[in-house]
């Protein structure tokens, strides 16, 4: 399985940050936003590895891969 590289635009990053901090979205949606923000490989991104995300948030590696793939395919 090929690793999908995520590079968020400023607008995408701001939207995800707002989703995380608002506290009104479903937990799954917030977790997916956290995953995307942490895997962001753009200049302003966190550039966390999958292992770091797995340890920090307690999500499975398959979930991380699915969120990445879905973002690349669907935006």
Q: With respect to residue 3, please indicate whether it lies within any of the assigned structural domains.
A: no
18 is a domain residue: yes
- Is 34 domain-assigned? yes
As beta bridge partners, residue 40 has 6
Residue listed under structure tokens 């400023």: 10
Asked whether residue 41 is assigned to any structural domain, the reply reads yes
Does residue 17 lie within any of the structural domains? Answer: yes
pLDDT digits (tens, 9 = 90+) for 16-25: 999 999 978 8
pLDDT in tens, 23-65: 788 999 999 999 999 999 988 888 999 999 999 999 999 999 9
Cβ burial of 6 (10 Å; 0-12, 13-18, 19+) is buried
Neighbours of 71 (CB within 10 A): 17
- Domain with 30, as residue range(s), is 10-74
* Inside any domain, residue 1: no
Cβ(71)–Cβ(4) below 8 Å: yes
Q: Give this prediction's pTM.
A: 0.89
Number of domains in the chain: 1
């Amino acid at each position: 399985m090929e690793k999908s590289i995520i590079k968020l635009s400023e607008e995408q990053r701001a939207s995800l940050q707002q989703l995380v901090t608002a506290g009104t979205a479903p937990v799954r949606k917030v977790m997916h936003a956290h995953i995307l923000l942490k895997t962001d490989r753009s200049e302003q991104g966190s550039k966390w590895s999958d292992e770091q995300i797995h340890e920090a948030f307690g999500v499975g590696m398959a979930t991380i891969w699915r969120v990445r793939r879905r973002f690349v395919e669907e935006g």
